[in-house]
Structure 1
Amino acid sequence: MTQDAAENLKTFGVTTLSDALDRLGIEGQCLGIMPFARSMRLAGPAFTIRMLPTGQSGGSVGDYIDDVQPGQIVVIDNDGRMDATVWGDILTLVADRRGIGGTVIDGVCRDIDRSIELDYPIYARANTMRTGKDRVTADAYNVTVQIAGIRIAPGDWLVGDGDGVICIPASRVQEVIEVAGQIAAAEEKIREAVLRGDRLDETRKKLRYHALQTRESGAKA
């Protein structure tokens, strides 16, 4: 299912998937987490890492990359810290060679030239030069984390493009794909109509455009 789901999700823009999340009452938009190149795309299940300040206990940013499976997305919760990187050149190189699907960080990374050179997708708040060594430590792996206030459990799906990144609960991926397909089809009909010269307001009304993203009655969160 993993490869099929990834390919299906990549056929939609993140904006369409975001609208599907809204319609289904799912909070999944990781606001403020952006790619370093607009051409970057990712879709895959999460391998999660929770970072904490080192404090007096010490520790490292973690040697986990060899345990991440091809197609998985590395999801690092660094509490939005902007002063300590948790991803850099060597991790990018290894992740790319292993076929890992990308990296999403609530925080910052460094050595972005390597990710752009390899077209390895990294989504983060920003980039900077200062290492996280002796500043943050990998506290837990494959636990529930937060990215920009969005709860992400191991195996939940991350999808990203030039407009940002969203999270879809693992149990609702197929549901989101179906609703995104309905929204994409309606929007394509609107584009076709206006290109024929039809009025936009009338076309939107006919196709119930303004209801496309409205939360469905009884939709479970």
Structure 2
Amino acid sequence: MTDSPNHVQRLRRLDACAVSDALDKLGLPGVVTHLAQRSSGPGGASRIAGRAVTMKVGPGQPPAGPPRHLGCSAIEQADSHSVIVVEQRSGVEAGCWGGLLTLGAKVRGVAGVIADGPLRDVDEAIAYEFPIYSRSLSARTARGRVVELGTQVPVTIGVGTGPGLGGEVLVNPGDYVLADRSAVIFIAAEQIEQVLEAAETIVAKEAAMAKAILAGTPMTQVMGGNYEHMLEKSI
């Protein structure tokens, strides 16, 4: 999966709030706020970024072929620039990611996992220092309850469209993913350059404001009209 020109590296230098502001400025969706961080990376690092390797999980029959446990194909197709994104919105309480998968992804060098569904074996994820965000936790196995319905297929992540719910986001394989303690954000591959440019501009402006605050400039002057109108398209 190619990444040119270094979009993942640039995304990793940004936080979710700056990218959320960039999406607002551009009138784009992508922010999901109900997926909690369950485990972090080495040293407690929470931020992950990469390109989506997607997996859809739910009741039914797996695709034809030799039997495989869910998640194995996703891990094999991922690398250090990948975030595995799982949809398990079936309503069945059954883990869509678990301890052995976490270990396999860790060994593979995968950046992290975003699971819109129940996470199993959370203590193992914490012990492995592997970043995972999920909708909920469960001890219930997937076996006999849900199966992998597809890998590298479009998935839907997010809850509803009401106030505070963040809305649903369609995520395609190869889209970009950023997550930290504030939110999980998805960016369509074809929009990544304009989103990065907008976010980097916002970060630079806020850095200048922070410098002014440290220099003693009054807050009302720093956070006046410029800040309030920063996300307008003409600014």
Q: TM-score range by the shorter chain?
A: 0.7 to 0.9
Q: Does 1:111 align with 2:113?
A: no
Change over 3 Å in CA distance of 1:116–1:80 after alignment to 2: farther
Q: Which amino acid aligns with 1:50?
A: K
User: What is the RMSD computed on CA atoms of the aligned residues?
Assistant: 2.1
Question: Equivalent residue for 2:164?
Answer: none
Contact 1:204 1:210 in 2 (8 A): yes
Using the alignment, how far apart are the partners of 1:91 and 1:41 within structure 2? 20
What pairs with 1:56-95 in structure 2 (closer than 5 Å)? Answer: 57=61, 61=70, 63-70=72-79, 71-79=81-89, 81=91, 83-95=93-105
Contact 1:46 1:73 in 2 (8 A): yes
Q: Does 1:211 align with 2:213?
A: no
Q: CA deviation at 1:66?
A: 4.6
Using the alignment, how far apart are the partners of 1:179 and 1:109 within structure 2? 34
Q: Does 1:165 align with 2:184?
A: yes
What pairs with 1:126-205 in structure 2 (closer than 5 Å)? Answer: 126-148=136-158, 149-205=168-224
Question: Equivalent residue for 2:18?
Answer: 16
Residue 19 of structure 2 aligns to a residue whose secondary structure is: helix
Q: CA deviation at 1:61?
A: 3.3
Change over 3 Å in CA distance of 1:22–1:133 after alignment to 2: same
Q: Which amino acid aligns with 2:57?
A: M
Question: Equivalent residue for 1:120?
Answer: 130
What TM-score, normalized to structure 2?
0.83
Deviates more, 1:73-82 or 1:40-49: 73-82
Q: Give 4+ residue runs of structure 1 displaced > 4 Å after superposition.
A: 57-60
Q: Which amino acid aligns with 1:11?
A: R
In the alignment, structure 2 segments of 5+ residues that lack a partner are: 64-68, 159-167
Contact 1:48 1:144 in 2 (8 A): yes
- Determine what percentage of the aligned residue pairs are the same residue: 30
Using the alignment, how far apart are the partners of 1:10 and 1:62 within structure 2? 24
Matched length: 213
Structure 1, residues 131-175: CA drift from partner, whole Å, max 9, x if none?
Answer: 122111211221111110111011001111122210011111121
Q: CA deviation at 1:50?
A: 1.3
Residue 108 of structure 1 aligns to a residue whose secondary structure is: strand
Using the alignment, how far apart are the partners of 2:204 and 2:72 within structure 1? 44
In the alignment, structure 1 segments of 5+ residues that lack a partner are: none
What TM-score, normalized to structure 1?
0.88
